[in-house]
Chain A
Amino acid sequence: MIPEALVVDRGVSAGDSWLTVDPAKVHDALSALKDEGYSLLVFLTCVDHLLDSSRNWPARYELLYELRNLETREQVRVRAFVDGDPPHVDSVHDLFPPANWDERETYDMFGVVFENHPDLTRILMPDDWVGHPLRRDYPVGGEVVEFSEEHETWQTAPEKA
């Protein structure tokens, strides 16, 4: 069982059960859940809650780990809220090998730094890309044509991204 000390909050959203953990204890919580039988990490991602007034968010970035127990077919979503520029969190690739690419993607898209990751490099965007496209302050539709005049200026522009 996951020790109750690790759980900050829990609930159900549209039928999916979730629990919130302290970002510093993500690795411990996922390790405990894995021992409990949640052997598959379905996906791992991040949501940027910048300027979202619909609810009270403890921090800007929400990391999500969807776990599945293949025997009982139960699913649980582990959430952790992190702040900072860049935000830091422990890597879980040693618990769940598929997390390796998911963490690279989350780093690429949100700039979340996963500690102890073996190869934290960009995966979808080009290696020399500036900024992290899925952050909410990264402009939508701001893509410029490569090798054009705007491209030169824009590559250095996103200060907050």
Chain B
Amino acid sequence: MTTEIGQGITVDRTGETGAFGGELLTVNFGPHHPSTHGVLRLVVDLDGEQVKRIKPVIGYLHTGIEKQMEALRWQQGVVVTDRHDYLSPPINNLAYALAVERLMGVEVPPRAQALRVIMCELTRLSSHLVWMGTSGLELGAMSMLMYCFRDRDTIMDMNEEISGFRMHTSYIRPGGVFADATPRFLDMLDRFTAKTMAKNVDEYEALLTNNPIWRRRTIGIGRLSAEDAKVLGATGPMLRGSGVAWDLRKAMPYSGYENYDFEIATSDLCDCYGRYLVRIKEMRESVKILRQALDRLPDGPINVDDRKMLPPPREELETSMEAVIHHFKLFTEGYSVPPGDVYVAVESGRGENGCYISSDGTHKPRRVKFRSASFVNLQALERMALNHFIADMIAIIGTADTVLGDCDR
């Protein structure tokens, strides 16, 4: 039975009976299953081992982040944005910060822009490392997890050095960044990009790219043609793994990405292996961007010079009455944002993560909506996984790289 799920996109669902005359078996997969990357529940109809129908059930990680943002002042909201896509906090911060800045009509200084790029690329690396480690674990390459988390831990150390927090950094804020990079941070970054990462990506490739088990588990599995990917709204490595060179950092540059020299990673394989190759290439490109950002890191302030938006320096409070007033206003009422609405999209490790803000001119947002890549990409799951074996479905969920916290918000 062929069912249309979008224009021209069909899935072949069998009827009530399987190929050998037996009944289809409905299996509840998840929500608590180690390979669902969070709490994803799938109601799967099986014919023997073959998947004949998938109904994703989401919402188990819904934490009401959008509602919560309406009750928080503009600068408090940053802390919440860290927590929906918990594998790429600075990238979510950036989407929110850019949206608020667009509404306020301010632009951050060059040094802040470069520091934002550094944090975003480090996050992309760490997000891809988690992906590679967990996917490797699922598909039989257990040592990947150890190796990838070793490098991720270095990134965590850098997060701690620059922001004081290992995971939910809240580093990027409307108006600039939290703190300037310390010499120790720049030293760590230099060592990490020049020595550690350049060598280790080669090591990961040596472990996986020509590994016969990895290749047989991923090549030809979970095909998604370029046409289907576009119609289903897939973004990120899902889209680029289908051969479409679309990357928001190139297509609609933000935060100074147009000044960096890097390539869009694509693969024409359209399958799980293609998406793996895209992520490997993206890790190399991220290292390239980090090198450039480090070499050309401009001097200057890291915040906009606007006392109505950011608190005055601590030492001014002792001498200036005006500084005390600004400080008091900011920490009691906060600042207000002119009425209007704006949508800003940034490229996260998973695809387009955007932030839509509607302001009514008060000191709290009227509505904040996060466009999450996982939420949209997950809708392509049935298209990719139908008529595959249930073990291959694990590979497909893995390479789709959905983060359920991002999906459910």
Interface residues of A (CB under 8 A from B): 13-16, 39-43, 45, 47-49, 52, 54-55, 64, 66, 70, 73, 75, 77, 94-98, 100-101, 105, 109, 122-126, 133-134, 136, 138, 140-141, 143
The number of residue pairs between A and B whose CB atoms lie closer than 8 Å in the complex comes to 104
Give the one of A43, A94, A100, A143 with max B CB within 10 A.
A43
Known contacts A97-B5, A124-B408; decide if A73 and B252 are in contact (CB<8 Å).
yes
B99 to A, closest residue via Cβ: A14
Interface 9-mer from B79-87, B128-136, B351-359: B351-359
Interface residue from B59, B70, B343 paired with A42 (Cβ < 8 Å): B343
The 4 closest A-B CB pairs, nearest first, are: A97-B6, A98-B233, A14-B342, A124-B59
Interface 9-mer from B17-25, B108-116, B184-192, B371-379: B371-379
Interface 9-mer from B143-151, B203-211, B360-368: B360-368
Give the one of B103, B345, B358 with max A CB within 10 A.
B358
Interface 9-mer from B27-35, B60-68, B280-288, B298-306: B60-68
Interface residues of B (CB under 8 A from A): 5-7, 9, 58-59, 62, 64, 66-68, 70-71, 102-103, 105, 230-233, 246, 251-252, 339-343, 345, 352, 354, 356, 358, 360-362, 366-367, 369, 371, 375-376, 379, 408-409
Known contacts A43-B371, A48-B367; decide if A98 and B341 are in contact (CB<8 Å).
no
Q: Taking the nearest CB of chain B, how far is it from the CB of A26, in angstroms?
A: 18
Known contacts A40-B233, A123-B58, A125-B62; decide if A14 and B102 are in contact (CB<8 Å).
yes
Known contacts A42-B354, A133-B67; decide if A97 and B341 are in contact (CB<8 Å).
no
In the complex, what distance in Å separates the CA atom of A100 from the CA atom of B375?
A: 11
A and B contact pairs by CB, cutoff 8 A, 7 listed: A13-B341, A13-B342, A39-B230, A43-B354, A52-B366, A97-B6, A125-B62
A75 contacts which chain B residues (CB < 8 A)? 343
New A-B contacts (7) at CB < 8 Å, excluding given A70-B230, A124-B408: A40-B233, A42-B352, A42-B354, A97-B9, A98-B376, A123-B59, A133-B64
A73 contacts which chain B residues (CB < 8 A)? 251-252
Interface residue from A66, A105, A143 paired with B343 (Cβ < 8 Å): A66
A105 contacts which chain B residues (CB < 8 A)? 375
In the complex, what distance in Å separates the CA atom of A49 from the CA atom of B232?
A: 31
Give the one of B70, B230, B341, B408 with max A CB within 10 A.
B341
A70 contacts which chain B residues (CB < 8 A)? 230, 246
Q: Is the CB of B341 within 8 A of A14?
A: yes
Q: Is the CB of A42 within 8 A of B64?
A: no
In the complex, what distance in Å separates the CA atom of A90 from the CA atom of B369?
A: 21
Known contacts A13-B341, A16-B341, A55-B339; decide if A43 and B67 are in contact (CB<8 Å).
no
A34 to B, closest residue via Cβ: B7
Q: Is the CB of B341 within 8 A of A134?
A: no
Q: Is the CB of A124 within 8 A of B251?
A: no
Q: Taking the nearest CB of chain B, how far is it from the CB of A63, in angstroms?
A: 12
In the complex, what distance in Å separates the CA atom of A143 from the CA atom of B68?
A: 11
